Structure 1
Amino acid sequence: MPSSRAPIPADIPEVRDAGPDAMENPPNSWDEVDETSDESFPASDPPAHGGHVD
């Protein structure tokens, strides 16, 4: 079965692996929330921030 994905253009940079070890300038501290956020980037939807609307 042929792939339905379009080829990636050559001018798009490669996405780095998640985690501080793959960062050019890693932060001094790193926790599970940082890890989860980094692994989910780039996401199609931003995270919800708990704003309440009636």
Structure 2
Amino acid sequence: MQFIIGFLRDTVREMKKVSWPKRKELTRYTITVMATVTFFAIFFAVIDLGISELIRLVLE
């Protein structure tokens, strides 16, 4: 039990040292991540559609 309490105290102490991003930075990072994920989702959807159509043409 003593180990868990010590671990939690150390965790709280370390979390206070963390440099958290400001609201403006966090917004910018969030937009960047969302744009990147959207781009790759569309990119892979188009690639998947293209490969599916290619396979359908070959198998017909």
Q: What TM-score, normalized to structure 2?
A: 0.28
Q: Pick 1 or 2: higher relative contact order, CA cutoff 8 A, min separation 6.
A: 1
Higher relative helix content: 2
Q: TM-score, normalised by structure 1?
A: 0.29
